[in-house]
């Protein structure tokens, strides 16, 4: 390449399916492994920026803090999201802990109840610092959104329960569809205002939808084309207005939907669990490599979690060898690194990207 690229240049080159100086790098991890990585690099517990720098992460996210009132009351023994009202409980397990969605306050709600359910107003966010944040992070690929932006099934399921959410989609249940449309309309307007405030400082939009199990689709193509694809299209249309590429987080076996998403402007896909049906690096590269960029493919349920350092290095090198040719690959775990990931394996994973991910 002749010179070292900035993170911004590196990511934008990969998203355009060309070869940068090295593969771009992304990171996310659960609290346990995140804390251990910070300790490994001798960082303070709250120094997330320091960890991103230590790992060579090329991405930065910008947002707008909520400054409105709390919309949902707290419940003893539960964590209630103050904006949307979904409820979680704290669960500990052998490797760590997590917040598990529970109670599902709108599971039996009718249309009137859903229509009255408090949701945040786009007016109650502070967009004033976005342009300056973009300038401060200009060396990195700045994105708005993440795997939860525009998500339909998960977010509706947090309030309705997953079983009821699937019934809503299958039977065109008015209350469930109203909930989805209210949430998406709010998300879309907040995103629009963030983009306006960024004044050209954003590089791409990141959204998401969990589309599959390990063995196949979560829903049929008819339901996808009726309820999911048309509700996602406004987000891709908005990105096109700002000349932005769009990356979509897609858990599980998801490649069955990629052709339809490409039709409406999707340019990159994230997560890419290689053990799921039709999600192996070889399959994705051969089937979609001329039309999509890829972010992920490093399984959080494989050698990185359960193997040795040597097995981790070998596994990551093999993925790089498959995905790197011609560009279009971003090195990342398939999801958050889990708390059962040995620290030395996580470190080896990122060292491998720096050593063997050079073009």
Which pLDDT tens digit goes with each residue over 304-337? Answer: 999 999 999 999 999 999 999 999 999 999 999 9
State the total domains in the chain.
Answer: 1
Q: Is 100 domain-assigned?
A: no
Q: Is 115 domain-assigned?
A: no
Q: Which domain holds residue 204?
A: 7-65+122-356
Query: Residue 134 in 3-state DSSP?
Result: helix
Q: Average pLDDT over the chain, rounded to whole?
A: 97
State phi, psi for 299 to the nearest 5 degrees.
Answer: -65, 135
Dist. CA 200–CA 197, nearest whole Å: 8
262-286 in b/e form (b: 16+ CB < 10 A) is: eebbbbbbbbbbbebbebbbeebbe
Which pLDDT value is given to residue 341? Answer: 96
Q: Is 82 domain-assigned?
A: no
Give the CATH number of the domain where residue 182 resides: 3.20.20.210
Degrees, nearest 5: CA angle 135-130-245: 80
Which pLDDT value is given to residue 93? Answer: 83
User: Per-residue pLDDT tens for 111-123?
Assistant: 999 999 999 999 9
Average pLDDT of the segment spanning 332-355: 97
Q: Is 11 domain-assigned?
A: yes
User: Per-residue pLDDT tens for 179-197?
Assistant: 999 999 999 999 999 999 9
User: Per-residue pLDDT tens for 232-253?
Assistant: 999 999 999 999 999 999 999 9
Q: Is 246 domain-assigned?
A: yes
- The answer, yes or no, to whether residue 2 has pLDDT greater than 80, is no
Strand ranges of the sheet holding 293-298, from the earlier edge strand across to the other edge: 59-61, 141-144, 204-208, 245-250, 268-271, 293-298, 329-333
Radius of gyration of the chain (CA): 20
Query: Residue 326 in 3-state DSSP?
Result: coil
Q: Is the pTM of this model over 0.85?
A: yes
Which pLDDT value is given to residue 319? Answer: 98
Give CA separation, 53 vs 41, 66, 75, 141, 146, in Å. Answer: 10, 27, 38, 13, 20
Which pLDDT value is given to residue 236? Answer: 98
Query: Residue 97 in 3-state DSSP?
Result: strand
Which pLDDT value is given to residue 91? Answer: 92
**Confidence bin at 302 (pLDDT 50/70/90):** very high
Taking phi over 0 as left and psi of -120 to 50 as alpha, with beta for the rest, 244 belongs to beta
- The answer, yes or no, to whether residue 133 has pLDDT greater than 90, is yes
Look up residue 122 and give its two tokens: 């786009």
Which pLDDT value is given to residue 96? Answer: 79
- The answer, yes or no, to whether residue 1 has pLDDT greater than 60, is no
Average pLDDT of the segment spanning 214-228: 97
**Confidence bin at 213 (pLDDT 50/70/90):** very high
Q: Is 139 domain-assigned?
A: yes
Dist. CA 262–CA 243, nearest whole Å: 16
Query: Residue 249 in 3-state DSSP?
Result: strand
Sign of the dihedral defined by the CA atoms of residues 350, 351, 354, 355, in that order: negative
**Confidence bin at 282 (pLDDT 50/70/90):** very high
CB 333 within 8 A of CB 304: yes
- The answer, yes or no, to whether residue 278 has pLDDT greater than 90, is yes
């Amino acid at each position: 390449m002749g010179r070292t690229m900035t993170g911004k240049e590196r990511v934008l080159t990969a998203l355009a399916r060309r070869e940068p100086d090295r593969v771009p790098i992304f990171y996310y991890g659960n609290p346990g492994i995140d804390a251990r990585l910070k300790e490994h690099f001798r960082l303070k517990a709250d120094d997330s920026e320091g960890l991103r720098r230590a790992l060579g992460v090329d991405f930065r996210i910008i947002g707008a803090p909520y400054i409105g009132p709390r919309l949902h009351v707290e419940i003893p023994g539960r964590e209630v999201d103050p904006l949307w009202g979904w409820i979680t409980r704290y669960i500990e397990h052998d490797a760590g802990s997590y917040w598990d969605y529970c109670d599902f306050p709108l599971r039996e709600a009718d249309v009137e109840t859903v229509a009255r359910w408090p949701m945040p107003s786009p007016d109650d966010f502070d967009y004033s610092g976005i342009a300056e944040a973009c300038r401060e992070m200009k060396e990195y690929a700045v994105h708005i959104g993440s795997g939860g932006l525009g998500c339909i099934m998960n977010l509706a399921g947090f309030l309705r329960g997953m079983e009821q959410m699937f019934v809503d989609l299958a039977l065109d249940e008015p209350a469930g569809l109203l909930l989805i449309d209210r949430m998406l309309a709010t998300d879309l307007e907040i995103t629009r205002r963030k983009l306006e405030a960024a004044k050209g400082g954003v590089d791409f939009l990141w959204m998401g939808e969990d589309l599959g199990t390990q063995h196949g689709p979560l829903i049929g193509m008819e339901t996808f084309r009726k309820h999911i694809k048309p509700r996602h299209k406004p987000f891709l249309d908005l990105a096109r207005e700002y000349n932005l590429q769009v990356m979509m987080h897609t858990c599980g076996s998801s490649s069955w939907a990629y052709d339809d998403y490409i039709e409406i402007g999707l340019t990159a896909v994230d997560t890419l669990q290689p053990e799921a049906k039709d999600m192996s690096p070889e399959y994705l590269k051969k089937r979609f490599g001329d039309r999509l960029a890829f972010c992920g493919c490093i399984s959080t349920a494989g050698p990185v979690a359960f193997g040795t350092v040597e097995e981790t290095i070998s596994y990551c090198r093999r993925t790089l060898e498959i995905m790197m040719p011609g560009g279009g690959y971003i090195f990342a775990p398939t999801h958050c690194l889990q708390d059962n990931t040995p620290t030395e394996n996580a470190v080896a994973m990122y060292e491998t990207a720096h050593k063997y991910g050079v073009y």
